[in-house]
Each structure stands twice: as structure tokens, then as C-alpha cells.
Homo-oligomer: A and B are copies of this chain.
């Protein structure tokens, strides 16, 4: 648990965060303290009918204390050489991870990038550069970024907008930007030697086009991309339609970018417990825009509530369909709606279990959906 914020600080931050999230289609960028998970730490004695832990007299494990959440205390009593002792040791690691969530790390990607506007053109300045990036508390990696963050700043425009993207390359390699999913003119498509020259180190390059189609899209490097995208040259390019459909009118609009390259298994550039919880109020509608920038599938499983798929790759599906696990392949996007009608803090993770949990507890592609009463 992060110790640098008092519970009341945490709570007020959470309330501010929720208040500021009420506008339709505003990008979620939520900070929530560890207090959000405090409700989970109740002792089993609080649940008389169900959730009851008992230590039968036949228990083989000396020192097991049943429902005690204080694994460290328990560990005192059970030597690590016994079954109970080893279980307590493992549990302590699991608990530590969950209590640390959401853990503070330096840097946050996927924040809205406000454009400069000149003569009606929305201009986005992107500098490709190498930085040190904190994926999890204390784990620093080399990241290749747009503007120093992973994922890159989020570009969010409206169908028909005129946009100009000015790329400055401070990388030690050439690069280029592909607007994945946008049906731009060929010479703005960002494939070196096919549609443009590579953007050499130390040079700049300008893309400009009228946004041709709406939906959840991406921008990323298309040069030496197996390396450059893996290292972080990727971001969301959201195009809002002129008239949102009724099903799109949501309270919280959240972009979740999946990656599995050199930085490990990440959601929006961070691994659990540094991932960002999604916080909503009971009864709110949540939209999640999944985007897979990795090399593997990631079947994202939400506990407690189903997901209704409304778009694939930015295109409405003919008929929305319900599920609890959305399998996103590299390059795909799926937009889902969650009716947040089940209160609590819910696990939300990739269901390829080695992407989410080890003997040392949860890691990687795990976050939580917090539905507050």
C-alpha cells in the first residue's frame, strides 16, 4: 500500500476524480488511492452465511489461522518449513501486491494531448525519444516514446477534423508514424519506402489529413516496428463520430492499450500493481476501448459484470453481443460497454494466467474495476 497519502487524501482524490469524470466521452484518467480496495480487507467474520472460513480440528497445518488477513502476523507463527509456513509466505507476497495497488510510479501515458489550432487545423507535436520508464515500482526500462510517455499521449479528434501531426525524431534510428485504422491518403500512411521516406534521426516530418473515419484507432511506428512498437512508440487515436449512437452515451470512456514486448505484460504502459484502476459509480455506463499493440492475443476477462461488444476496429458491429472475456489479437481493437450494476472492486485481467499471476502474486496485465456505491 502506498504510504505517502493519507486515507482522507486518497478518498478526496477519488471523489474529485469521479466528479471530473461526468462529462460525456471525456477520457478517463483516474487516480485512486489504495483506499479504494480497503473494503476487501474485511475479516471473514463479517460474512456469517457465506464467506466463512473455519479451521477444522482435522487441519493438518499447524499454525494456520484461517481467516486472518494479516499474513505477516500469521507468518510469525508458522515456520516456513511447514506447509502452513510456506503457504503464509506465498500469501504474504500475494497480499503485498494487492495492497500496493494502485502503486505510484513515475510517468503516466495515454493522457489527452490538447492540440494547437491554427487556421482550423488541429496540430499535434510529437517528439520521438528514448527515456527511462518505470513500468512497476522500481523497475526501470528503456522506452522509445512519443513525448516521453508510454503509451503516447492520446489523440482524440472528431470525424472530419483537419489534423497535422508534426513528428520530430530524436531516436537513434529512423522512424515513421502509421495511423492504424484511419483510411488516410496513401502518402500519409507512414510506411517508409512504400509511402514516404524514413524520418531520419534528427529530422522532422509532417503528416496532415482530414480525419476520414471514426472509431478507436491507433498510431505507431511502422519502421523497424517489431522493435520500435515493442519499446513504446504507440498510442491511441480516437475519432469521435459526428453523432454518437445511443449505445455510445457513457459516463466513463476508458482506453486500455495492451502490450507484451520488452517491457513485459502491460496495460497502458504499466504492470500490476502500477496499473490504473477504473473507478465508476454504481449504475454508470463504462466504455472500454481495448487496443492490442503487442505480439500475442490477450483475452481480457472482467469479473462481476459482462461486457457488451459494440465496435471492432472502430466499426460498429451489426448487433452488439455480450461476453465476459474479449479476445484481442495484435492490431485489433474492441470497444465494449459495461453496465456497472454490481458494486465492489472487481479483478480485471488477461486470462492467459501466466500474463497475470505468478507464485509471487499478481503482476502484468491486471487491474480492477471499482464500482462504488
Contact = CB atoms under 8 A, between A and B. Distances in A.
Nearest to A69: B197
B200 A84 contact: yes
B174 A60 contact: no
Contacts of A332: 299, 323, 325, 327, 351
Interface in A346-361: 346-347, 351-354, 356-359
A197 B53 contact: yes
A49 B208 contact: yes
Contacts of A47: 187
Contacts of A200: 53, 55, 61, 64-66, 84, 87-88, 91
Given A206-B50, A321-B317, A297 B193 contact: no
A331 B323 CA distance: 11
Contacts of A172: 83, 86-87
B98 A193 contact: yes
Interface residues of A, number: 122
Contacts of A346: 186, 189
Contacts of A201: 59-61, 64, 83-84, 87
A345 interface: yes
Copies assembled = 3
Contacts of A58: 202
A76 interface: no
Contacts of A54: 203-205
A229 B356 CA distance: 13
Nearest to A356: B226
A5 interface: no
28 contacts: A44-B205, A50-B164, A50-B209, A53-B203, A54-B203, A55-B200, A56-B204, A64-B203, A67-B197, A68-B197, A87-B174, A87-B198, A88-B200, A90-B224, A183-B304, A186-B304, A189-B347, A191-B303, A195-B344, A225-B353, A226-B356, A297-B297, A297-B327, A299-B330, A318-B321, A324-B331, A329-B351, A330-B351
